[in-house]
């Protein structure tokens, strides 16, 4: 008991002692943590106001209300153009509140970007939802003349040129009178209502299927095919190069490609052809005029020949660049590519014979590489087939090749390729232990097929040694 | 700054005074700690000491795997690996590398010495009987020999301490404890281990062969005969090595009556439900490789199961219910671990260089053990063997990320058969070696007709080379099944093609066994010893140097670093610095 009291009092004393220690130290701590740098007492607005070179910019800040923002406590980088850079600003911008707001917002970033820390080309987000490219003491075309002046809420970079708030590629295409009419009209015609349940309102459940019933109008979005299938040219964060053909050139390209996309009606022929012409015209790399190569590879593997003398106009946009071309002669051989179908990736079979189907891993003695193929053996079905669905096949002549490995029996056997069905066929003799590509034959597609069915067809026999199917891959080479 | 006041001075003084007043309190014997003098009272205390030694032994798992695998050619470092691991990988170990310190080994050795000394006192004082003493003393003495063998493999010249020391740092004193060369160390270890009074496993019913926390403890302890086989194999006494290995191979024959265990326990024989074969749902269809059964299950099977018992000779469990924590998940796993090591490109190339037995035409051009030993998780190649109790083979995720259960694999029947084959091969029994590692006895000694009386066996050979694998077939008259009739070679079990031996059987088969060790037992902590043993035996440093070089070159490290490692190993500079 005695011990316990002593311990308690000791604890108390020790606590007192440490408290005292703390309090005696507090003065030192205060001094160390004090903000002594007067620059940090200021806001960015103070810095801008203090510089007479930035008086015009300050005036615009006040006019647009951004003065209150850069006085606030979050961190910003303000790229302030000097007065001389703003003297030539289009009065149409100055006098339009919305345009001016977007213009000023294009000079303020909601983060600190110190010139020494932005060594790599960086796309930085601005307050008007657009992006500017910054690298070291350069932002877009402007030079940072007075760098990294800091205030309590960020950095001030003084620049020698204004940063115009540009349209993005899609805005240019849809709004600007410089955009060639025919290509523009076609691209704007690609708006479709597409099912999208993200924001749909469920109003009931179908009692038969159990599927939800959506309120009319909420279950789809109005969107452009080009955005979904090629590139969404509205995205500000990425950068694109968009080629637009002047009307005559557009017509020439479409006319040239009409025979390759033959359909049942003239309208759909034009539609499919135009789509296949235009789908290659946007790439998600920005090619500056001085650095554009003579061939640009599209998303779909098409080589676009870029003749610099055919560039009629170059338009810089907020997310890339648009070239208006008087001519762009894309070769059919470059647009219509060979098709390779992997044997093991079939879409359907005539009868379920998975138990006789072998996905085999093998070593190809010709290529020196491993491969996977399909073998259907001892399936006991006459005219057994595997079907391959190939999307968007143009109306051209194709030559068919295949690698089919017969390493399981010494007798050769015959399998067939069914073209669009199992009536029209090409025969392929499969000799033992052949690892190289074998030419099968050619066929002509008279019409463009949204989905082309290719069949690998076995012999009209139920004998195991006669009716096997085996295939590493089938290659269709367009004959142009 | 303030001056110290009188009050403050008084407080400090008081604290000091009160401390001295407490002295008497500290003199009281603690109630929750056992003093050493009272620790060894009866056989249960002795059992606790044995379990304590093994518990501490498990703390060596990470270092054991790193030293035995990362120094060799099958494991590689990752982007996460620290400098210490990189040094081990490139054979550029400097002082203070925690993985290259012999200290943890010596700490445990001194613990063993201490326990052994106390056991001797206990038996003198009649605190345990002679039989109990023999079992426990032999176990700890064998484990100590195992630790010394490891030290010899990695450090070359090491001090051999069998007396009790309180302070592990005394071992460093070269004046008191002379460092003896590896070869002389082997002599000491053999003579010491040969004299242990008990070489069997703990009998069932013993306090050390029971089920605790859901774990059957029988496989926790070192197999003394395997250890002796290993010591003789390192020493080059192949006859004795083969003798001891054979005794373990025949464990099932002596321990069980006719039945599945009899025919398959350590015999690499098939058994209903526990084949451990590499197989396909439909032979020839590569997409039907069996994951949920067969060879992969070797690493996932539960303690006490037939699957584990028939395959594993020595394996210790990690469980979240007891210490130590599973250091191997930290080492190998990108989930719940640090992913410090990965399978090397070299081991993938070894697997890819194999072909499987033909089905539906020719062969699948790789060894399926590649797919069963490794996995790609989040784009990273992961050595999976230690992780199958933690990461689901099908999903690649950990169902219970905080329950880090697993196993430390030390020895299984494929090690046993390959080491036996290594010894047999050296004694000119090439065909027996081929039968064990490649195609099985029935294939090595095929019968020309259905009468197999004089085939499928090696009974003309003296012990330990007399195997009987005869099988009359279902319609054979007389109908018989010999002890080894279910045996199937290691390569046959893994579905890869048999070795074709044309000339120089000795060297071809020896190299083949070591290579098969990589394919079958990759990452299980035996690769570096395998390479070093053959390099020492053949006096051929290139045997180990070239393999390490291949790994380093393929790992994308600078050619200079790879060449430097090769040059170091070529100069027989195989051992780590003995420093801590």
What average pLDDT does range B118-132 have in this prediction?
94
* Closest residue of chain A to B360, computed from CA coordinates: A408
Contacts A355 to B, Cβ<8 Å: 282
Collapsing DSSP to helix, strand or coil, B314 comes out as strand
Least confident of A442-451, B146-155, B200-209: B200-209
Q: How far apart are CA B347 and CA B353, in angstroms?
A: 10
Instruction: Out of B2, B363, B366, name the one closest to residue A24 (CB).
Output: B2
Q: Chain B contact for A10, CB < 8 A?
A: yes
The whole-angstrom separation of Cα B420 and Cα B247 is 11
Residue A22 clears pLDDT 60, i.e. is over it: no
The verdict on a CB contact (< 8 Å) between B286 and A357 is no
Binned at pLDDT 50, 70 and 90, residue A195 comes out as confident
Q: What does residue B384 show for φ and ψ, rounded to 5 degrees?
A: -95, -15
ipTM for the predicted complex comes to 0.80
pLDDT above 60 for B347: yes
Dump pLDDT digits (tens) for A232-259.
999 999 999 999 999 999 999 999 999 9
**Between B212 and B373, residue with greater pLDDT:** B373
For B320-340, b where at least 16 C-beta lie within 10 A, e where not — what string?
Answer: eeeeeebbbbebbbbbbbebb
Closest to A478 in 3D by CA, of A259, A327, A265, A161:
A259
State the smallest CA–CA distance between residue A30 and chain B in angstroms. Answer: 15
- For chain A, the domains span 39-159, 169-335, 339-479
Q: What are phi and psi of A387, to 5 degrees?
A: -115, 140
CB-based contact, B2 to chain A, within 8 Å: yes
Residue A214 touches partner B, C-beta closer than 8 Å: no
Q: How far B9 CA lies from chain A's nearest CA (Å)?
A: 10
Mean pLDDT to the nearest integer, B10-18: 55
CATH architecture of A39-159: Roll (2.30)
CB contact under 8 A, A14 and B11: yes
Domain boundaries, chain B: 415-570
Q: Residue B174 half-sphere exposure, CB side, CA atoms within 13 Å?
A: 6
For residue A408, give every residue at least 6 positions away whose Cβ sits within 8 Å of its Cβ, in sequence order, or none. A375, A377, A468, B360, B361, B362
- A371 — phi, psi (to 5°)? -145, 165
User: In the numeric block, which tokens belong to residue A284?
Assistant: 């998600």
Cβ pair B361:A360 closer than 8 A: yes
| Higher local confidence (pLDDT), B476 or B406 | B406
Q: CB distance B18–A408 less than 8 Å?
A: no
Using left for φ > 0, alpha for ψ between -120 and 50, and beta otherwise, residue A420 falls in left
Whole-number Å distance between alpha carbons of B485 and A478? 61
User: Hey, is the C-beta of A379 within 8 angstroms of any chain B C-beta?
Assistant: no
The per-residue pLDDT for range A433-448, each reduced to its tens digit, is: 999 999 999 999 999 9
Q: How far is B28 from chain A (nearest CA, A)?
A: 16
Which residue is closest to B368 within chain A, CA to CA? Answer: A361
- Cβ contact B15–A408 (<8 Å): no
Mean pLDDT across A100-110: 94
Find the angle CA(B539)-CA(B544)-CA(B548) to the nearest 5 degrees: 160
Q: Cα angle at A224 between A222 and A225, to 5 degrees?
A: 125
Closest CA to B251 of B220, B219, B283, B281: B219
Chain CA centroid to CA B486, Å:
25
Contact B8 A20 (CB under 8 A): yes
Sheet of A449-457: strand order equals A348-349, A385-393, A449-457, A413-419, A425-430
Q: Does B11 touch chain A (CB under 8 A)?
A: yes
Residue B29: other Cβ atoms inside 10 A: 7
CB atoms closer than 10 angstroms to residue B515: 17
Report the 10 Å Cβ neighbour count for A186. 18
Q: How far is the alpha carbon of A360 from chain B, nearest alpha carbon, in Å? A: 5
- The answer to whether B456 and B442 have CB atoms below 8 angstroms apart is yes
Can you tell me the distance from the alpha carbon of A290 to that of A50, in angstroms, rounded to the nearest whole number?
40
Contact B18 A406 (CB under 8 A): no
Q: Does B20 touch chain A (CB under 8 A)?
A: no
- What's the pLDDT band for A13 if we cut at 50, 70, 90? low
Percentage above 90 pLDDT, chain B: 80
Task: Look at residue A29 and tell me whether its pLDDT is greater than 60.
Answer: no
User: How many CB atoms lie under 10 A from the CB of residue A468?
Assistant: 27
CATH architecture of the domain with range A169-335:
Roll (2.30)
Instruction: Please answer whether residues B484 and B452 qualify as being in contact, where contact means their C-beta atoms are separated by less than 8 angstroms.
Output: no
pLDDT at A25 over 90: no
pLDDT band per the 50, 70, 90 thresholds, residue A1? very low
Contact state of A408 with B282 under an 8 Å Cβ cutoff: no
Task: State yes or no: pLDDT of A12 exceeds 60.
Answer: no
Closest-CA residue of B relative to A357 is: B285
Residue of chain B minimizing CA distance to A371: B365
Chain A hits for B364, CB-CB cut-off 8 Å, are: 360-362
Contact with chain B for residue A12, Cβ under 8 A: no
Q: Is B166 on the interface with A (CB under 8 A)?
A: no
pLDDT over 90, % of chain A? 80
Pick B362's closest partner by Cβ from A17, A358, A362: A362
User: What distance in Å separates the CA atoms of residue A402 and residue A476, rounded to the nearest whole number?
Assistant: 9
CB atoms within 10 A of CB A397: 13
Tell me what percent of the residues of chain B surpass a pLDDT of 70: 95
| Domain A39-159 and domain A339-479 have a common topology | no
Question: What whole-number distance in Å separates Cα of residue A402 and Cα of residue A417?
Answer: 10
Chain B residues inside the 8 Å CB shell of A359: 285-287
Q: What is the pLDDT of residue B1?
A: 46
* pLDDT tens profile B208-236: 998 888 898 999 999 999 999 999 999 99
Q: Omega of the bond prior to B478 within 30 degrees of 0, cis?
A: yes
Whether the CB of A68 is below 8 Å from some CB of chain B: the reply is no
Confidence of residue B379 (pLDDT cuts 50, 70, 90): very high
Mean pLDDT calculated for residue range B459-473: 92
Long-range contacts of B356-360 (CB under 8 A, 24+ apart): B356/B495, B356/B496, B356/B497, B357/B492, B357/B495, B357/B496, B357/B497, B359/B280, B359/B283, B359/B284, B360/A358, B360/A360, B360/A375, B360/A377, B360/A408, B360/B283, B360/B284, B360/B285
Considering only B37-46, B105-114, B529-538, which range has the smallest mean pLDDT? B37-46
- Domain A339-479: assigned CATH number: 2.60.120.260
Assigned token pair, A462: 């139920």
Chain-chain contact of A10 with B355 (C-beta, under 8 angstroms): no
pLDDT of residue A193: 87
How high is the mean pLDDT of chain A?
Answer: 90
Q: Does A367 touch chain B (CB under 8 A)?
A: no
Which of B281, B285, B359, B370 would you mutate first to test chain A, the one with the most A CBs within 10 A? Answer: B285
Q: Which residues pair with A390 in a beta bridge?
A: A452
Chain centroid to CA A461: 50
Q: Report the alpha-carbon distance of residue B13 to residue B18 in Å, rounded.
A: 9
- B282 CB within 8 Å of a chain A CB: yes
Whether A370 has its CB under 8 Å from any CB of chain B: the answer is: yes
pLDDT of residue A39: 80
Rounded Cα distance between A54 and A82, Å, is 5
B286 near A CB under 8 A: yes
What pLDDT is attached to residue B6?
A: 58
Highest mean pLDDT among A217-226, B36-45, B178-187: B178-187
Identify the CA nearest to A129 among candidates A45, A221, A235.
A235
From the list B8, B355, B360, the residue facing A360 with the nearest CB is B360
Q: Which residues of B touch A363 (CB under 8 A)?
A: 355, 363, 365
Which residue of chain A comes nearest to B4, CA vs CA? A21
The Cα-based distances of B164 to A196, A202, B115 in angstroms read: 77, 79, 9
Q: Where does the pLDDT of residue A2 fall: very low under 50, low under 70, confident under 90, or very high at 90 and above?
A: low
pLDDT in tens, B530-541: 999 999 999 999
Span A380-393, mean pLDDT?
A: 96
pLDDT of residue B15: 54
A26: pLDDT strictly greater than 80: no
pLDDT in tens, A276-310: 999 999 999 999 999 999 999 999 999 999 999 99
Per-residue pLDDT tens over the stretch A354-363: 999 999 999 9
Q: How many CB pairs under 8 A join A and B?
A: 59
Q: From the CA of A38, how many Å to the nearest CA of chain B?
A: 29
Look at B365 and A361 and tell me if their CB atoms are within 8 Å. yes
Q: Of all helices (H) and strands (E), which one includes residue B574?
A: none
What are the φ/ψ torsions at residue A35 (nearest 5 degrees)?
-85, 110
pLDDT > 60? residue A120 = yes
Local confidence band at B4 (pLDDT 50, 70, 90 cut-offs):
low
B8·A17 Cβ contact <8 A: yes
Residues B394-421, mean pLDDT to the nearest whole number: 95
**B572 touches B535 (CB < 8 A):** no
Whether the Cβ atoms of residue B370 and residue B355 lie closer than 8 Å to each other: no
Q: Which of A32-46, A85-99, A339-353, A407-421 has the lowest average pLDDT?
A: A32-46
Q: Does A406 touch chain B (CB under 8 A)?
A: yes
The 3-class SS string of chain A reads CHHHHHHHHHHHHHHHHHHHHHHHHHHHHHHHHCCCCHHHHCCHHHHHHHCHHHHHHHHHHHHHCHHHHCCCCCCEEEEEECHHHHCCCCHHHHCCHHHHHHHHHCCEECCCCCCCCCCCCEEEEECCCCEEEEECCEECCEEEEEEEEEECCEEEEEECCCCCCCCCHHHHHHHCCCCCHHHHHHHHCCEEEEECCCCCCEEEECCCCCCEEECCCCCEEEEEHHHHHCCCCCCCCCCEEEEEECHHHHHHHHHHHHHHHCCCCHHHHHHHHHHHHHCCCEECCCCCHHHCCCEEECCCCCEEECCHHHEEEEEEECCEEEEEECCCCCCHHHHCCCEEEECCCCCEECCCCHHHEEEEEEEECCCCEEEEEEEECCCCCCCCEEEEEEEEECCCEEEEEEECCECCCCCCEEEEEEECCCCCEEEEEECECCCCCEEEEEEECCCCEEEEEEEEECCCCCCCCCCCEEECEEEEEEEC
Q: What are B377's two structure tokens?
A: 């998780």
Q: What is the CA radius of gyration of chain A?
A: 34
A404 or A217: whose pLDDT is higher?
Answer: A404
CB B300 within 8 A of CB B285: no
Which chain A residue has the Cα nearest residue B281?
A355
Q: Is the pLDDT of residue B24 over 70?
A: no
Higher pLDDT, B259 or A374: A374
How far is it, in rounded angstroms, from Cα A227 to Cα A231?
Answer: 5
B284 reaches A (C-beta below 8 A) = yes
Pairwise CA distance, residues B307 & B296, whole Å: 11
Least confident of A147-151, A404-408, B475-479: B475-479
């Amino acid at each position: 008991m005695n011990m316990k009291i002593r311990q308690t009092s000791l604890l108390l004393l020790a606590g007192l002692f440490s408290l005292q220690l703390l309090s005696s130290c507090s003065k030192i701590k205060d001094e160390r943590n004090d903000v002594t740098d007067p620059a940090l007492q200021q806001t960015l607005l103070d810095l801008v106001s203090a510089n007479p070179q930035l008086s015009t910019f300050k005036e615009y800040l006040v006019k647009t209300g951004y003065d209150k923002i850069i006085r606030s406590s979050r961190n910003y980088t303000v790229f302030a153009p000097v007065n001389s850079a703003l003297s030539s600003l289009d009065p149409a911008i100055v006098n339009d509140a919305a345009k001016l707001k977007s213009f000023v917002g294009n000079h303020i970033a909601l983060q600190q970007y110190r010139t020494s820390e932005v060594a790599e080309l960086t796309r930085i987000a601005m307050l008007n939802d657009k992006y500017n490219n910054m690298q070291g003491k350069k932002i877009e075309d402007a030079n940072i003349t007075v760098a990294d002046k800091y205030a309590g809420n960020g950095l001030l970079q003084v620049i020698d040129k204004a940063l115009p708030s540009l349209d993005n590629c899609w805005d240019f295409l849809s709004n600007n009178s410089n955009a060639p009419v025919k290509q523009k009209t076609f691209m704007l015609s690609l708006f479709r209502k597409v099912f999208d349940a993200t924001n749909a309102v469920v109003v009931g459940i179908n009692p038969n299927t159990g599927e939800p019933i959506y309120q009319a109008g909420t279950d789809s979005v109005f969107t452009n095919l080009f955005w979904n299938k090629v590139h969404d040219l509205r995205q500000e964060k990425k950068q694109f190069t968009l080629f637009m053909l002047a009307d005559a050139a557009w017509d020439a390209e479409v006319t040239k490609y009409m025979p390759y996309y033959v359909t049942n009606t003239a309208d759909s022929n034009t539609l499919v052809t135009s789509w296949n012409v235009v789908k290659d015209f946007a790439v998600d790399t920005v090619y500056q005029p001085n650095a554009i190569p003579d061939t640009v590879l599209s998303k779909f593997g098409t080589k676009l020949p870029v003749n610099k003398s055919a560039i009629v106009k170059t338009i810089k946009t907020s997310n890339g660049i648009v070239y208006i071309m008087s001519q762009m002669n894309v070769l059919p051989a470059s647009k219509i590519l060979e098709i390779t179908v992997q044997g093991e990736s079939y879409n359907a079979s005539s009868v379920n014979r998975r138990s006789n189907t072998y996905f085999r891993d093998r070593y190809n003695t010709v290529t020196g590489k491993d491969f996977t193929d399909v073998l259907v053996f001892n399936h006991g079905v006459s005219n057994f087939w595997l079907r391959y669905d190939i999307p968007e096949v143009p109306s051209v002549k194709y030559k068919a090749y295949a690698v089919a490995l017969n390493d399981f029996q010494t007798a050769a056997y015959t399998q067939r390729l069914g073209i669009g069905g199992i009536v029209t066929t090409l025969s392929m003799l499969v000799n033992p232990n052949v690892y190289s590509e074998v030419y099968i034959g050619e066929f002509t597609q008279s019409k463009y097929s949204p989905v082309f069915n290719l069949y690998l067809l076995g012999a009209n026999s139920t004998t195991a040694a006669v009716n096997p199917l085996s295939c590493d891959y089938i290659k269709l080479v367009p004959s142009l | 700054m303030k001056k110290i006041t009188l009050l403050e001075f008084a407080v400090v003084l008081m604290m000091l005074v009160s401390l001295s007043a407490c002295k008497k309190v500290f003199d009281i014997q603690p109630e929750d700690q056992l003093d050493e003098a009272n620790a060894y009272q009866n056989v249960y205390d002795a059992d606790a000491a044995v379990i304590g030694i093994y518990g501490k032994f498990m703390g060596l798992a990470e270092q054991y795997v790193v030293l035995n695998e990362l120094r060799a050619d099958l494991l590689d470092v990752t982007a996460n690996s620290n400098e210490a691991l990189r040094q081990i990988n490139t054979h550029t170990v400097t002082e203070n590398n925690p993985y290259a310190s012999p200290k943890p080994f010596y700490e445990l050795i001194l613990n063993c010495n201490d326990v052994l000394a106390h056991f001797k006192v206990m038996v003198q004082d009649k605190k345990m009987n002679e039989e109990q003493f023999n079992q426990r003393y032999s176990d700890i003495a064998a484990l100590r020999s195992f630790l010394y063998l490891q030290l010899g493999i990695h450090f070359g010249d090491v001090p051999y301490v069998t007396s009790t020391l309180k302070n592990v740092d005394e071992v460093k004193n070269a004046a008191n404890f002379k460092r003896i060369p590896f070869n002389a160390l082997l002599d000491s270890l053999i003579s010491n281990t040969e004299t242990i009074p008990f070489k069997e496993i703990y009998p069932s019913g013993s306090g050390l062969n029971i089920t605790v926390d859901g774990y059957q403890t029988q496989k926790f302890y070192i197999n003394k005969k395997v250890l002796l086989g290993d010591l003789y194999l390192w020493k080059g006494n192949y006859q004795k090595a083969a003798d001891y290995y054979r005794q373990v191979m025949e464990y099932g024959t002596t321990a069980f009556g006719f039945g599945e265990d009899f025919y398959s326990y350590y015999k690499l024989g098939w058994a209903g439900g526990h084949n451990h074969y590499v197989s396909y749902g439909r032979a020839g269809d590569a997409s039907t490789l069996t994951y949920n059964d067969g060879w992969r299950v070797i690493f996932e099977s539960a303690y006490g199961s037939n699957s584990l018992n028939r395959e594993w000779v020595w394996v210790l469990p990690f469980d979240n219910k007891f210490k130590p924590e599973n250091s191997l998940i930290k080492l190998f796993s990108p989930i719940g671990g640090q992913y410090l090591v990965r399978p090397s490109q070299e081991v993938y190339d070894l697997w890819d260089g194999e072909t499987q037995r033909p089905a539906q035409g020719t062969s699948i051009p790789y060894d399926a053990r590649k797919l069963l030993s490794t996995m790609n998780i989040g784009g990273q190649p992961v050595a999976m063997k230690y992780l199958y109790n933690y990461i689901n083979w099908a999903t690649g995720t950990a169902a219970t990320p905080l329950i880090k259960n697993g196993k430390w694999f030390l020895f299984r029947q494929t090690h046993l058969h390959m080491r036996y084959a290594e010894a047999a091969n050296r004694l000119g029994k090439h065909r027996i070696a081929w039968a064990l590692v490649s195609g099985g006895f029935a294939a090595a000694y095929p019968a020309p007709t259905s009468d197999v009386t004089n085939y499928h066996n090696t009974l003309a050979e003296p012990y330990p080379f007399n195997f009987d694998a005869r099988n009359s077939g279902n319609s054979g008259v007389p109908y018989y099944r010999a002890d080894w009739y279910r045996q199937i070679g290691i390569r046959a079990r893994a579905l890869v093609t048999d070795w074709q031996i044309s000339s120089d059987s000795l060297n071809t088969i020896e190299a083949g066994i070591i290579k098969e060790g990589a394919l079958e037992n990759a990452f299980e902590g035996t690769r570096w010893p395998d390479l070093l043993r053959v390099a020492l035996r053949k006096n051929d440093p290139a045997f180990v140097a070239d393999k390490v070089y291949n790994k380093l070159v393929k790992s994308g490290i600078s050619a200079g670093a790879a060449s430097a490692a090769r040059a170091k190993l070529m100069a027989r500079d195989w051992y780590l610095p003995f420093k801590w």
